[in-house]
Amino acid sequence: MPKLKRGDNDERATDFVESLDRGLRLLQKFGTTTGPMTLSDLARAAELPRATARRILFTLERAGFVATDGKLFTLTPHVLTLAASFLRSSQVVTVLQPVLDRIAATAQEISSLAVLDGEEVVFIARGSPARMFSAGLDIGYRLPSFCTSVGRAMLGQFDNAELAARLAAMRRAPMTAHTVTDPKLLLAAIIADRAQGYSLVDREAEPHFRSVSVPIRRYDGAIIAAINMGAHVDRVSAGEMIDRFLPLLREGAEQVKSMLL
């Protein structure tokens, strides 16, 4: 990550804490592999000198975020307090959770809330019928934005020129045999979704799974999130998603608009 220069913004450059930035980057690198990691692996992944990474890791260990046997390092459950703080402080989650629960109970299907984070979407809340357990789109789950219905619903907030530039610069590796990766086709699809007010994506992000999403707008009309419902293709048709799920999603999105600042 490049350092901030005084010429860019004197106040931000003065207030920038490089050691904190490095520590956060190092924490994120634990997710790049499964299982414990060595000091060398973490230093290399975070592009830090080995001695710097060592000091940061032992600081994180003392704070309770990292555990080590002297050779290997792992995250501790204490890191979940960071995610919990976000969820407790998020107005979007607080306002949308009752909506997700109601939609899920009515449709007897899982409903999810996602936000845009760079090129990806991250799911930050969900509603699930009591009868249903499902792995997959849990809180914190991330997917590319270009091939998901929540992602396309949120990408529609950008004007055509900016959207085209974002799609061209975005990593667009296919997730399934059905994934559309051509930036021109994606641009046309997102523009069409923006006009109709929803996005339906069929088996592009995950095999055998389709979903429909609508954008969540705050009081001034700005898109800040998206909610969706999805199901296995053998269980719910695209037509049923439009006829049964879409009205519930639209009603929920409209209901919370005046409540989001």
- CA pair distance 191, 197, nearest whole angstrom: 10
pTM: 0.82
Q: Which domains does the chain have, with CATH numbers?
A: 10-76 (1.10.10.10), 90-259 (3.30.450.40)
The residues with which 122 forms a beta bridge, in sequence order, are: 115, 142
6: confidence class by pLDDT, cuts 50, 70, 90: very low
2: confidence class by pLDDT, cuts 50, 70, 90: very low
Amino acid at 135: A
220: confidence class by pLDDT, cuts 50, 70, 90: very high
Q: What is the pLDDT, as a whole number, of residue 34?
A: 82
> Quick one: which of 255, 228, 251, 258 has its CA closest to 126?
228
50-63 vs 39-46: helix crossing angle, rounded to 10: 110
Tokens (6 digits) for 27: 């924490």
Tell me: the pLDDT tens digits for 48-79? Answer: 999 999 999 999 999 999 999 999 999 999 99
**CA angle (90, 257, 250) in 5-degree steps:** 110
